[in-house]
Amino acid sequence: MMKLGKISPLAFSRMKQRGISIAALNDLLARGQVERQFDGAQVVYLDSPTPNPGWTSRPTPRLYAVVDAAGDVLTVERRVRLRG
């Protein structure tokens, strides 16, 4: 579980552009899976819940953030991944 540190101007701008709230970012940091990078940075991601069987052809959003070694949020993104 990570706590929200400073948010870079780039990350804040991306959040506004993509409609990602502070609450969503806090939730991501609290519940997301963490992949550590060689330089101390971390990629925190949260896949959306598994859709019901009627949603097989719809894309699912994926929220992730890049956090530096000091715990500051560098960027935030919402990607759409098509299920095949």
Single pTM value for the model: 0.71
**pLDDT of 52 higher than 80:** no
Average pLDDT, whole number, for the chain?
79
**pLDDT of 48 higher than 70:** no
Q: Evaluate whether residue 1 is within a structural domain.
A: no
- Determine the pLDDT at residue 58: 53
Q: Evaluate whether residue 3 is within a structural domain.
A: no
The H or E element spanning position 9 is helix 9-18
Number of domains in the chain: 1
Number of other residues whose CB lies within 10 A of the CB of residue 45? 17
DSSP collapsed to 3 states, 11-65: HHHHHHHHCCCHHHHHHHHHHCEEEECCCCCEEEEEECCCCCHHHCCCCEEEEEE
Q: What is the mean pLDDT of residues 45-59?
A: 58
Residue-number span of the structural domain to which 20 is assigned: 9-49+59-81
- Determine the pLDDT at residue 9: 92
Q: Evaluate whether residue 14 is within a structural domain.
A: yes
Q: Evaluate whether residue 2 is within a structural domain.
A: no
Instruction: Report the alpha-carbon distance of residue 41 to residue 72 in Å, rounded.
Output: 9
Q: What is the mean pLDDT of residues 2-21?
A: 86
